[in-house]
Amino acid sequence: MKNRWNRGVRVLGVSACLALVLAACGDGSIDKATDENKEAQAECGGDGELNLAVNPWVGMAADAYVVGTLADQELGCKVNYKELKEDVAWQEFKGGGVDVVIEDWGHPALEDQYFAEKGDGSAEDFGPTGNIGIIGWYVPPWLAEEHPDILEYENLNKYADKFKTSESGGKGQFLGADPSYKQFDEAIIANLDLDFKVVFSGGEAASISAFKKAEKNKEWMIGYFYDPQWLLAEIPVKKVALPEYTDGCQDDPAKVACDYPETELKKIVSTSWSGDGGAMVDLVKSFSWTNEDQNLVAKYIADDKMTPEDAAKKWIADNPDKVDAWLGR
């Protein structure tokens, strides 16, 4: 009897649990959750998630976290930030690992590989970010002020000895950046017959530290740098004039002997993601801001040591008109 009674209690317990589940179904909680999931999918596309690439420079993190924070807070999307090198991010379009590269500095070879015109059609140009990218050779302000002729590349060899370091093999050191960045400095040096050697800093933070140190201590330094970049508001590094960029002068990487072009930065997205439509797609399409906007958010992150999320939230709170325009409000 005891065992039979225990079995009865267990059966009643299961029945009670089942009744509770059925009651939950009856009051619409599961239906509500399903509806919310469908709504998130409609807003965000696909499975209700957004996969944002974050390439290794703080300006792109500024773009990505502002868009991602809005996607989370305003549209209910689950946002995944993917820290990837540029070429790897493009590779992820096809398998769905990346939906959006929010800041592209121009990659014709990748466009040929992934755009529909010549490639597999997994990616498409989604319009400009509003930023203008200016890559070039820069020196610290003190050096340009004391030796203004150094801003013409023809005069660099005259000063090459001043730039020597223990790593430059008896030549002047040219400080490269992250080796994964698009850059032609070794070819430019060789083809302009300059007595310099590229030594890579390894990344954006190291390059920033080097420029800060060179300005503070009046050290001789020349290196690869770019705008938009928050450091320029603190240290207005000066650009060296190389031979003017013309169409086609960088087509053969081994023969490059010209300056970098000014580049209209743009958004690149997965075609499968954009094809789903929804408010998230509209937000990315509408997103556009200035170099000054990006530099401010990047400064919050890199100089003021805010988290990318907090930096994005601060900028969003301070710029409601721009945000409302992106969201179509």
pLDDT single digits (tens) 233-247? 889 999 999 999 999
Are residue 149 and residue 294 in the same domain, yes or no? no
Task: Give 247's strand partners.
Answer: none
Are residue 155 and residue 238 in the same domain, yes or no? yes
pLDDT at 41: 57
Q: What CATH number does residue 301 fall under?
A: 3.40.190.10
Mean pLDDT over each residue of the chain, to the nearest integer: 89
128 inside domain? yes
Number of domains within the chain: 2
Are residue 158 and residue 256 in the same domain, yes or no? yes
pLDDT tens for each residue of 166-185: 999 999 999 999 998 889 99
| DSSP category for residue 51 | E
Q: How far apart are CA 84 and CA 92, in angstroms?
A: 10
pLDDT at 19: 42
231 inside domain? yes
The pair phi, psi for residue 186, each rounded to 5°, is: -65, -40
Across residues 285-289, what is the average pLDDT? 97
pLDDT at 43: 72
Whether the predicted pLDDT of 15 surpasses 70: no
Range of the domain at 198: 135-262
Are residue 158 and residue 255 in the same domain, yes or no? yes
Residues 6+ apart with CB under 8 A from 125: 111, 115, 266, 267, 268
Are residue 281 and residue 251 in the same domain, yes or no? no
Contact between residue 126 and residue 280 where contact means Cβ atoms under 8 Å apart: no
Q: pLDDT band at 47, cuts 50/70/90?
A: confident
pLDDT at 94: 93
pTM, to two decimals: 0.78
Q: How far apart are CA 134 and CA 149, in angstroms?
A: 21
Q: How far apart are CA 39 and CA 35, in angstroms?
A: 6
Q: pLDDT band at 34, cuts 50/70/90?
A: very low
Token pair recorded at residue 315:
């900028």
Reduced to 3 states (helix: H, G, I; strand: E, B; else coil), residue 223 is strand
pLDDT at 286: 97
Are residue 199 and residue 245 in the same domain, yes or no? yes
248 inside domain? yes
Whether the predicted pLDDT of 84 surpasses 90: yes
Among residues 100, 147, 88, which one has the least CA distance to residue 124? 100
